[in-house]
Amino acid sequence: EGMAPPQRILFPPENIRMDWQQSQRAGAGLHNSDNTCYVNAVLQCLSYTPPLANYLLSREHSQSCRLRGFCMMCRMEAHVNKVLHSSGSVIQPWVITNVLTKIGEHFQLGMQEDAHEFLRYTVSAMQRACLSGISDLDISSQSTTVVHQIFGGFLRSRVTCLSCKAVSDSYEAFMDVPLDIKAASSVTAALEDFVRPEHLDGENCFHCSTCDQRAAASKSFTIDRVPRVLTLCLKRFEGFTGRKISKAVGYPEYLDLRPYTSQTSGEPLVYSLYAVLVHSGGSCHGGHYFCYVKASNGLWYEMDDTSVVLQDINKVLRQQAYLLFYVR
């Protein structure tokens, strides 16, 4: 639409396999070595992300990787292969916990950290690994890595001048969508709030280049290019205090993203829930993280560090979710 096409395609989109290539029960549980429940919960959600797991199980990355030293994609490939081939056992995720400071320099063993922040740093480190050794890439080409093609999308920010009706669009890549839940009792209500136009006037007036004056305007965000995997973060922690918003927020097993896109007319864009990450506790400074994942056999499992227990979808849908993972 308003974005320049990529000058280079780094990974052929037709090679991304959205459906599991084989069916099996859940893989290994993970030892919690010194406050690493946030690491374990995020790793389990990523390990059951079908297009990512399919790619990592193929070992295609390590066969062509030319990175000397730390490579997050090689680390994730080793971890996911070990987890998914060790059903019924418990493993140490050393291949990841040994490089925490390389994923983000403030992450260190023994410290309780935020699971969403760890997810963002991990996906960013995977994206950097896919871009290593390639320079001078335009932003559209950077979005053609296997990682960005799985997790990434683009938001459109549209400002409409209320004086002359001129429209100004800008685009921004995203790997997940943060949702304000203070006023929302469901994910769909929070998404409606996310795309609801905001009125800019007074001190927030917009300088319109068309009518060359400061004018009242309307600003709205929409999802312009939808991701293959949609990650939603329910903003449960208050900015300054870290206090938790512990209210129930409903989320569906199947979500149609169409109403929240730039093109609201058209076929439904249906996403299926495959992982739910939960925080239990009163603030971001403590508590415990665990998750629920849907394995390749179609069954749900509760993953709580070393514990891997079969669960039913009704329990999965009743959690105080922090992160929600949907696959198209």
* Active-site residue identified among 37, 45, 233, 284: 37
* Nearest by Cα to 131 from 298, 295, 223, 6: 6
**Is 288 among the residues known to form the active site?**
yes
- Strand ranges in 216-320 using DSSP code E only, listed in sequence order: 217-225, 229-234, 254-256, 270-280, 288-294, 300-304, 307-311
**Is 74 among the residues known to form the active site?**
no
**Beta pairing partners, 218:** 160, 199
Question: Crossing angle of helices 50-57/72-84, nearest 10°?
Answer: 100
* Nearest by Cα to 125 from 178, 62, 74: 74
How far does Cα 102 stand from its chain's mean position? Answer: 20
Check residue 5 and report its DSSP letter.
P
63 in helix, strand or coil?
helix
Locus of tokens 């093609």: 149
Which residues are known to be catalytic?
37, 288
